[in-house]
A and B are shown apart, each in its own frame.
Chain A
Amino acid sequence: MIDKTVSDCRQAVAMITDGSSIMLGGFGNAGMPAQLIEALREHGARNLTIISNGAGTGDYALGALVGDGKVSKVVASFPAPSATQFRERYLRGEIELELVPQGTLVERIRAAGAGLGGFYTPTGAGTELAAGKESRVINGREYLFELPIHADFVFLKAYQGDRLGNLMYRGTMRNFNMVMATAGKTVIAEVEQIVPAGGIPPEQVHTPGLFVDRVVQVARHPRLLELPKEGGAA
């Protein structure tokens, strides 16, 4: 019987070595595999390359991993002003940034997962992000050639998972998680609930289990339970 479940996050990240490349799903706090990232901090691997939309916010999850000095390179589209740990280290020249437009980042990950050697996109043509890139005019428009991005490890966050690795997301958790699931050698999913095989209706399996190697059930990271300090809408 296939059983991809592991008992805790520490066990799930135990095989990660120094110098690994790791993709992190999530956009904002939604779909962020924060418990796996915290376990990686404790695990201690260093000189990591992180592929993520942002560069970590504040002092938890990726922000804390960067603050620990364990990340040497970030491939991201938007290191936000709130990425304070990243900004400090970047300005001191201690961390490398490969800045990629968000749609190009997504498609480079998709290309890796789909077995493609790259693609042409109009995004970035004629801008400073085109520097050093091959370009080609197709039907009168300039496109840039972009290469796939693979990763040694992928961390995902889903709502439900089963022992087969099937995953279901809720709300806006899907974001980068579904595409990143296809692009890593070892794919580890943090879920809030493990359900029996067949427990997720087939039409609602967002990430099919063949992409996933390990599933760990863990309570939501406390920072992902926080409400705004004041009210919602005015």
Chain B
Amino acid sequence: MMLTRDGIAWRIARDLHEGDYVNLGVGIPVLVSNYLDRTQEIFLHSENGILGVGPRPKRDEIDLDLISAGKGFCTLSTGAAIFDQPISFAMMRGGHLSHAILGAIEVAENGDFANWKVPGEAVPGVGGAMDLAVGTPNIYVAMSHVTNKGKPKIVKTCAAPLTARQCVKRIYTDLAIIDVTAQGLVLREVMPGNDPASVQAKTEANLIVAPDWREMDVPETATNGARLRN
């Protein structure tokens, strides 16, 4: 079995807890907001200047001046703060957020990763990705384990242009959860129906299998596209 994109987001949400200050990148990461435990105070950061992004507004709740980093309208959670760019990037680059969840094109075994320049994209855009990557203590990557052509995305050395060096702490894919450690990549959890050997077969870099590795505990809806609940 493999996780859907929402399934990966659901699993990441289980690892975020009260008091965490989290930036969610585009793609799978932004889906994490749908699966957070709303009884816990987890603050979502938006690089344009919000700490405490709430759910998307209903149509009659839209404030034309209130948008999040994806440029769409948003609401604020209780206790939110709004600020300007220097403060927002001090939070990011200065290491004040606890987590950034980011998509990636490739992750290397030493924690290097590439996510800003898609091969073949002629017009580059970087935004705040590099600032988040160099500053945030817990960089979690959310991505498919292999490309749509079956090529491993967890590699010995990144071929795509780097976002930052040696910063990824954990990788969540549709098959596994892998920690980046000083000793190398440590396989922690594997989707049911797979085993460490089958995950290694889809991974270019060497995996160290954690002695206490286990099957990922996820609901069936995280694999079949049916509506997931947090």
Interface residues of A, Cβ cutoff 8 Å to B: 27-31, 77-80, 83, 86-87, 90-91, 97, 99-104, 106-107, 110, 121-129, 159, 170-179, 206, 220, 224-225, 227-228, 231-234
Query: In the assembly, what is the distance between CA of A206 and CA of B59, in Å?
Result: 29
Q: From B82, which residue of chain A is reached at the shortest CB distance? A: A172
A107 touches B86 (CB 8 A): yes
Within 8 A of A (CB), among B42-100: 46-50, 55-68, 71-73, 82-86, 89, 92-93
Interface string of B121-149 (1 = CB under 8 A from A): 01111111111001100000000000000
A224 touches B64 (CB 8 A): yes
- Which A residues lie within 8 Å of B89 (CB)? 102-103, 106-107
30 interchain pairs, CB-CB under 8 A: A27-B67, A29-B67, A30-B64, A77-B126, A79-B124, A80-B125, A90-B123, A97-B123, A97-B124, A99-B125, A101-B128, A103-B92, A103-B128, A104-B131, A107-B86, A110-B86, A121-B93, A122-B93, A124-B130, A125-B164, A172-B49, A174-B82, A174-B84, A176-B84, A176-B85, A178-B86, A179-B85, A179-B86, A232-B56, A232-B58
Query: Is B165 interfacial (CB 8 A cutoff)?
Result: yes
Q: A27-B71, A125-B165, A232-B73 are in contact. List 5 more A-B contacts (CB 8 A).
A: A127-B163, A127-B164, A178-B84, A178-B85, A232-B59
A78 touches B127 (CB 8 A): yes
A126 touches B125 (CB 8 A): no
Q: From B57, which residue of chain A is reached at the shortest CB distance? A: A232
What's the A-B contact tally at a CB cutoff of 8 Å? 154
B85 touches A106 (CB 8 A): yes
- Which B residues lie within 8 Å of A220 (CB)? 64
A172 touches B48 (CB 8 A): yes
A101 touches B71 (CB 8 A): no
Top 8 nearest A-B pairs (CB, nearest first) are A171-B65, A103-B131, A103-B89, A28-B71, A233-B56, A78-B127, A178-B84, A174-B84
Query: Is B161 interfacial (CB 8 A cutoff)?
Result: yes
Contact among B62, B124, B134, B135 with A125 in the assembled complex (CB-CB below 8 Å): B134
